[in-house]
Chain A
Amino acid sequence: MTLDITQVYSQIEAMAGDLKSHQSDYAQKLELALTTLKSIPPQQDRLKKKIEDARATWLVAGLEEDVSLHRAAAPCPDDFVVAASDGSHIDVDRHQSTRLFLLNIGLVELQYGSKPDAELSSLPTLYFGDEMQAIRSRDGRQALIEGPLLGIKREVEECRSLADRVCCNETNLPVVGLVDGSLIMWGLVGKHYDDFVIEQLLDDGLIKQFGRFYELNRKRKAAIASYISFPRSTDVINSLRLQLCPRDPVDCDNEFCKGKFEGRECDAVGGLLDRTLFSSILADGERSAVFSSRSSIIERYGVHQVCFFYLKLDEEVARVEVPLWVADNKELLDLVHAVIVGQCHKGFGYPVSLSEAHEQAVVTGADRQQFWDLVDRVMQEGSLAVQHSLKQRSKKRKWL
């Protein structure tokens, strides 16, 4: 049996009704959020201090520019390069005959201007054997790479391949490297990974790649940025919650607020998303103020501390993340802003370089099947035993 859609239908109707009943409530919240945002004076010192001193339960955005700022994109340079990477993987499947995983990194490099050019490629890498499939500490501990950890490993490899490509670019043109998703390794936040895992994936992995862009920027204009389409983040709304809170310093564990999910002063803007707020503020192509992430993991990022801004594009508001050294450099920030707006216009709302990198990286269901069949065939040709779990066999041969 498959999903009985007739049974789900009435539940979908109930959900739609519930959402509709909250529409006017949502509009009121948005109105208050806009008023609150506009009421913050340009120096915003009081709110900055409130954010610093707060003991809040939410992730709050740090203020780097006037919160109500909205700025159109500067013109793109005549000649520039955009590089992008994206990845797919085939995870370890314990029902298959062999323990292995595969990463497929798609890379795109587009040169615009007087000598337009494009390079599109994919780089599949098979990880097999104990050494390749684990993160190991010097004192003999190891973490097997699979599931969520493989997702994190993929982020690192996407960034490493992007840095490799950008560093090999022989032009002296300004270059922007783009990745899909966040520069913040959310996969490591709140999980109990050993320190050596975090060190290898984050300090010696992702952040090291940011460093390569940082070094490159000493020789030529170079930036790295990530693009999040349809973001669900609430960092800025949470800062407005602090602005609305009558207590100073803010402490979510006070007697009135503790254990509550509604009824608090700040709940008057609760449930809104940052993108909804900025959709009402920004015009097409404009960016918001730059904010900084205050996630606990950011402490490890150093000069690469992650900052972000929102960007309005036709029908959606996207979130763009950059390291602090990009956010602090007006020329680089303008370059990232202008290039991403241009990329989105060429890509019908989503950066064309990222879209093509995805196309290069994608591993379809048919590819997966072909891959595992090939693994089995090569093993059999090498007279190696090929044994699948009975569950796997049962799924393949549907019986009655």
Chain B
Amino acid sequence: MAVEQKIAEVIETSNSEFLAECYDLDSVPALGSMVRTKGKGCQIYGIVYTSATHSIEPGRRIAARGKAAASEADVFKANPQLAKLLCSDFKVLVVGHSPDKAIYQYLPPSPASIYSFVYACSPVEVKQFTQSLNFLNLIIESRSTVAPDEVIAAFLRYASLTHPAPEEFLVKAGKELAWTLSNDIRRLDSILKRLQP
């Protein structure tokens, strides 16, 4: 069995979300993808809602360096310190947890542990998690992300590919959304339009 590759580490945490710093620059998981980390006595599942690459020091502005470079890779080759002074991180909305084999699609009793490793969920895990879509309201109602509809659509497109019949899954998800957003047709319409693969 292949050893699972950790991709990041939790550096800020709360009950509803966490921030994870990547081990490698520019290697953030895709928007809407599902990741897993550890909490107190449980596995915590979340969906990536934003990511960024920036200076490790808040006060230091990144300057353009590539005017004389032939390629973007040459910028790093000519300035080897950059890889050590920049970092990539991503924020994750917590959508469920699993203290044992069962998965609960609501917030865990305590936040993800600080410094816990973050793993990208396998297609099997995503498929298993999305047998039910009760967690969607956690994203719909989230105030953390400026574009929750984009996150929902990205996640559903990504999750559909783990199911044997992706379109069937998307129809099921659309119905779930229609129920949750029955009083906001414009928003529902906006998300549904984004579900086209």
Contact = CB atoms under 8 A, between A and B. Distances in A.
Interface of A: 108, 110-112, 116-120, 346, 348, 352-353, 356, 359
Contacts of B76: 116
B83 interface: yes
A79 to B, nearest CB: 12
Interface of B: 57, 60, 63, 65, 76-85
B75 to A, nearest CB: 10
Contacts of B57: 359
Contacts of B84: 118-120
Given A356-B85, A359-B57, A118 B63 contact: no
Given A348-B63, A359-B57, A111 B80 contact: yes
A119 B80 CA distance: 9
Q: Which of B57, B65, B78, B84 has the most CB of A within 10 A?
A: B84
B80 A117 contact: yes
A78 to B, nearest CB: 12
A112 B78 contact: yes
Contact of A346 (B60, B78, B83, B85): B78
B80 A118 contact: yes
B80 A116 contact: yes
Contacts of B81: 108, 110, 118, 120, 352-353, 356
Contacts, number: 31
B63 to A, nearest CB: 7
Given A120-B84, A120-B85, A352 B63 contact: no
B197 to A, nearest CB: 40
B80 A112 contact: yes
B17 to A, nearest CB: 28
A272 to B, nearest CB: 34
Contacts of A118: 80-84
A359 B79 CA distance: 16
A350 B84 CA distance: 19
A169 to B, nearest CB: 14
Contacts of A359: 57, 60
11 contacts: A108-B81, A110-B81, A112-B78, A112-B80, A116-B77, A118-B82, A120-B81, A120-B85, A348-B63, A356-B85, A359-B60
B33 to A, nearest CB: 30
Contacts of A119: 84
A110 B76 CA distance: 12
Contacts of A110: 80-81
Contacts of A112: 78, 80
Nearest to B63: A348
A74 B83 CA distance: 28
A295 B194 CA distance: 75
A120 B85 CA distance: 9
A356 B79 CA distance: 12
Contacts of A111: 80
Contacts of B65: 346
A108 to B, nearest CB: 7
Nearest first, the 6 A-B pairs at minimum CB distance are A116-B80, A118-B80, A118-B81, A118-B84, A116-B77, A120-B84
B71 to A, nearest CB: 14
Contacts of B80: 110-112, 116-118
Contacts of A348: 63
Given A118-B83, A118-B84, A356-B81, 8 more contacts: A110-B81, A111-B80, A120-B81, A120-B85, A346-B78, A346-B79, A348-B63, A353-B81
A353 B60 CA distance: 16
A48 B83 CA distance: 50
Contacts of B77: 116
Contacts of B78: 112, 116, 346
A176 to B, nearest CB: 15
A348 B64 CA distance: 11
A116 B76 CA distance: 8
Nearest to A356: B81
A231 B191 CA distance: 63
B184 to A, nearest CB: 46
Nearest to A117: B80
Q: Which of A111, A116, A348, A356 has the most CB of B within 10 A?
A: A116
A352 B85 contact: no
A117 B84 CA distance: 9
A348 B62 CA distance: 12
Nearest to B76: A116
A110 B79 CA distance: 8
Nearest to B81: A118
Nearest to B60: A359
A146 B23 CA distance: 41
A192 B81 CA distance: 43
